[in-house]
Amino acid sequence: MTLRPPADPATARPARIVAVKGMNDILPPESARWEWLEDTVRRLMARYAYRNLRTPIVEPTGLFVRGLGEVTDIVEKEMYSFEDRLNGDSLTLRPESTAGVVRAVTEHSMLYDGGKRLYYMGPMFRHERPQRGRYRQFHQIGAEALGFGGAEVDAELILLAAALWRELGLRDVRLELNSLGQPDERKAHRAALIAHLEQHADVLDEDARRRLHSNPLRILDTKNPAMQAVVEAAPRMMDFLGEASRAHFAAVRAILDANGIAYRINPRLVRGMDYYNLTVFEFVTDRLGSQGTICGGGRYDYLIEQIGGKPAPAVGWALGVERVLELLKEQGDSHAALAPDVYAILPDAGLFPQALRTIETLRAAGVAVQMHAGAGEGPGSMKSQFKKADASGAAHALVFGPDEFAAGEVTLKALRGDVSDGVLRQRRLPLAEAAVWAATLQSPTS
Ligand code: ATP
Ligand code: MG
């Protein structure tokens, strides 16, 4: 293992270190869109009474092997696992958060006094081939309702996601819905499915053949065009549902119908993890190529028990933040409002102490102030400072010039807006009353 970067022979400086492939820096102004999305989510979650839960990024590897299933893409080939230096335990960067949420809920006996509605946001890690909408560090926002068994909570979660698309202004998203039934119903379906696939063994690809007896359901999810016909003709889970499972599905649908939520039943929707039962769903778009799933979820009534907790039903979803933002961009929405209210022009270093006191007063009153700062050789000319002020997008410049300062004042200059309102474009304001006139500088969003 080498940790020291080699020197670049051309410059003799150490070679540049760049980010790990598939892991992205999120820079301003792009990061403002992320903050806006996160703020929107927080407000919405509060309205649905979902509470924030934060779990570690690193978990014991066994949590995912047991929780997600051994024969899943994630566990088979996408996990970043490593050994704990001290005791040799296998640890993994979380590839998703449902397993971690279930572990935390169990570990802290959170269901002792009834069900809990929770949400999380954060980075996930999967060793996939990086491409548009598919990264090795990506971000999910998820909502989970644990300890509730009724179809009304499945529906509530779908309504919550639909409300989020509305709040974000996201269009062109459709809902696909399926039911995977209960384990015994799946067993019967599985047997029929294997029999069907065995009859067409000649068209199965290597992946499908390997999964034929370990995880045949996942074969239905194949993207291989050569297998489409066989998969299309495969026995449908829907036909194996018992009465209770059918009733649960009908109850979810009735709530969606009553709320005007359109959906398509997709009998081949199976989801990537083994832990789902009954309702599963995805929100998909055609506008992001083959990375078209922006949100997926479903019921996982047996996961808590599988991870060692007291059996309890649960349901949830997770959305991909990068894909949602990409889709918004695709629609032409731009939510990056990074301009400060005021750009502070400081031509005289001797006035910094008093000027900063005024700037701090404005900030405390809620005004967004960007202070001019040079790269090291003094404050720079007025002209260059005004150029920066213009580029910042600020509505106003506050000029802390020596003349006005001597009079106990500062000059406020409008940088944007209507040029004809000449009288208002420049005026002097008393430094001592900054807390009072601050209110006139604050934009409604800051
Ligand atoms: P896909 O079929 O696209 O691989 P998935 O079924 O593996 O998705 P989930 O595990 O259900 O995805 O995760 C929920 C959401 O997280 C996905 O719908 C997607 O929006 C997002 N997501 C999953 N993997 C990635 C990734 N590698 N990069 C970016 N977003 C991702
Ligand atoms: Mg995947």
Indicate if 279 and 412 belong to the same structural domain: no
Ligand 2 centroid–CA 272 distance in Å is 7
Residue nearest ligand 1's atom 3 by CA: 291
Would you say residue 252 has pLDDT above 60? yes
Whether residue 157 is contained in a domain is answered as: yes
Q: How far is the CA of 273 from the centre of ligand 2 (A)?
A: 9
- To the nearest whole percent, how much of the chain has pLDDT over 90? 82
Q: What is the pLDDT of residue 421?
A: 53
Indicate whether 279 and 146 sit together in one domain.
yes
Pocket of ligand 1, candidates 68, 80, 291, 328: which has the most ligand atoms within 8 Å of its Cβ, to mutate? 291
Q: Which of 291, 308, 331 is the last residue of a domain?
A: 331
Any residues with Cβ below 6 Å from ligand 1, and which?
96, 126, 128, 133-135, 138, 140, 272, 291, 293-296, 318-320, 322-323
**Could you please report the per-residue DSSP string of 62-100?**
HHHHHHH-TTSHIIIII-EEEE-TTT--EEEE-S-SHHH
- Are 388 and 274 members of one domain? no
Calculated CA dihedral for residues 230, 233, 234, 238, nearest 10 degrees: 150
The pLDDT-based confidence of 333 (bands split at 50, 70, 90) is confident
At residue 290, the pLDDT reads: 87
Q: Does residue 117 register a pLDDT over 80?
A: yes
Residue 166 has pLDDT above 80, yes or no: yes
Query: Would 204 be classed as within a structural domain?
Result: no
375 and 282: one domain?
A: no
Cα–ligand 2 centroid distance for 134 (angstroms): 9
Q: Which long-range contacts (CB under 8 A, 24 or more apart) does 387-392 make?
A: 388/343, 389/343, 389/345, 389/415, 390/415, 392/339, 392/340, 392/343
Question: Does the pLDDT at position 4 exceed 70?
Answer: no
Residue 376 confidence (pLDDT) above 90: no
Q: What is the pLDDT, as a whole number, of residue 195?
A: 94
pTM of the model: 0.89
Residue that terminates a domain, selected from 277, 307, 331: 331
357 and 318 together in one domain: no
Q: Are residues 120 and 158 in the same domain?
A: yes
Return the higher-pLDDT residue of 220 and 182. 182
For the stretch 75-85, pLDDT in tens is 999 999 999 99
Residue 21 domain-assigned? Answer: no
Mean pLDDT, the chain, integer = 92
Q: Do residues 358 and 315 both lie within one domain?
A: no
Of the ligands numbered here, which is closest to the C-alpha atom of 140? 1
| pLDDT at 3 > cutoff 80 | no
Kindly state whether residues 90 and 63 are assigned to the same domain: yes
> Looking at the predicted structure, is the pLDDT value of residue 397 above 90?
yes
Choose which residue among 20, 323, 325, 326 to substitute to test ligand 1 binding: the one with the highest number of ligand atoms within 8 A of its C-beta.
323
Same domain, 327 and 346: no
* Centre of ligand 2 from the C-alpha of residue 323, in Å: 13
Mean pLDDT on 59-77: 93
Q: Grade residue 211 by pLDDT with cuts at 50, 70 and 90.
A: confident
Q: Is residue 1 part of a domain?
A: no
When pLDDT is averaged across residues 245-261 and rounded to a whole number, the result is: 98
Residues 168 and 51 occupy one common structural domain: yes
pLDDT at 91 > cutoff 70: yes
| Domain region containing 113 | 30-181+241-331
What confidence tier does 391 reach under pLDDT thresholds 50, 70, 90?
A: very high
Does residue 223 lie in a domain region?
no
Is 356 found in the same domain as 319?
A: no
Residue 247, pLDDT score: 98
Residue 181 confidence (pLDDT) above 90? yes
Q: Compute the distance from residue 274 Cα to the ligand 1 centre, in Å.
A: 15
Domain match, 125 and 249 both? yes
Kindly give the distance from the C-alpha atom of residue 352 to the centroid of ligand 2, in angstroms, as a whole number.
54
Closest CA to 372 of 357, 352, 350, 402: 352
Whether the predicted pLDDT of 145 surpasses 80? yes
Q: Which of 300, 331, 362 is the last residue of a domain?
A: 331
- CATH number of the domain to which 255 belongs: 3.30.930.10
311 located within any domain: yes
E strand spans, 333-418: 342-345, 369-371, 396-399, 409-414
Is residue 203 included in any domain, yes or no? no
pLDDT exceeds 60 at position 422: no
The CATH number for 415's domain is 3.40.50.800
Amino acid symbol at 267: P
Mean pLDDT of 134-160: 98
Number of domains in the chain: 2
For residue 209, being part of any structural domain is answered with no
- pLDDT at residue number 142: 98
The residue whose CA is least distant from atom 9 of ligand 1 is: 296
